[in-house]
Chains A and B, each alone.
Chain A
């Protein structure tokens, strides 16, 4: 009887241990870095799947009552007003862009003129960029660029334009070898 209990215990422990290691075999999710600038918290991460498709994403979190502007407005704003929210690779990056920038919330027309000055609803916004990782089995130093501007209905902070954010990213072989 005692032997059976021990064997059951062993099977349970081994199953739990192995499950911990394999549960994320088909998915990779890495926090890369975060910072706060002009009251906006920006968190950058890398996600991947079993098909070796990787997405770089940045979550921009403004304070309560403040909003950011659509990724699709011009870099110089609409009639000079506002600045887009952007996540970009630097020209020297070892990563490559595989598609356009995606947003997790839809920008809306404002209550004021110009109506083309699209704004995101109050709250956090995540932008995602499909990318190709650099070849190799090593982690490499790289950087991304972020742009955004924080406003409420009645005041604004200085825009953050093309801020270079250093990140350390894995070569594609780092995941392929696991």
Chain B
């Protein structure tokens, strides 16, 4: 008889316990992620460099259609006997700045690596990098380099900063040299 009473009492006591001390909520309903916003940094000023053996130009979207401008720049590169390469960068990107500084300081390793190239710079903020894409260029990180053919179209050869270690000329130069001049 005692057992039956005890068996009946257990659930009653448990219910009472939960009623007196209700468990706390641990999770809210599923939340929705808002649409992404665009960064606000401004593109850098125009920059056209003609160093010993290589050229750097910067294109802006207000000037013309990208593919038209790339075709034009590829022709200019051909006239100089240089290889057209698109580089995506941004004003907020420290590794991009480090590469630019190495070139501006005329680091010998870097100058040798860049020899014979025609670098066409595109600022990702100007060109609206969205979901890893700027028009038909697809990439996840900057800086990133795309080789172009004589018509200004992508050859399919791409390299980004992940190809080297710390952002110093002795790491960057051999990798870029191989990318620009290797097979």
Contact = CB atoms under 8 A, between A and B. Distances in A.
Interface of A: 2-3, 6-7, 10, 13-14, 17-18, 20-22, 24, 28-33, 35, 37, 39, 76-77, 80-83, 110-112, 117, 139, 143, 149, 151-170, 174-175, 178
Contacts of B32: 166
A178 B24 contact: yes
Interface of B is mostly: loop
Interface of B: 2-3, 6, 9-10, 13-14, 17-18, 21-34, 36-41, 90-98, 124, 129, 140-144, 160-162, 164-167, 171-172
Contact of A155 (B28, B97, B160): B160
Nearest to A32: B28
A21 B22 contact: yes
B167 A112 contact: yes
A81 B44 CA distance: 12
Contacts of B39: 83, 158-159, 161
Given A154-B165, A154-B167, A156-B141, A2 B160 contact: no
B169 to A, nearest CB: 12
Contacts of A80: 41, 91-92
A151 B37 contact: no
Nearest to A7: B6
A161 B40 contact: yes
B38 A157 contact: no
B115 to A, nearest CB: 22
A166 B6 contact: no
A139 B29 CA distance: 10
Nearest to B144: A155
Nearest to A2: B3
A161 B32 CA distance: 18
Nearest to B94: A81
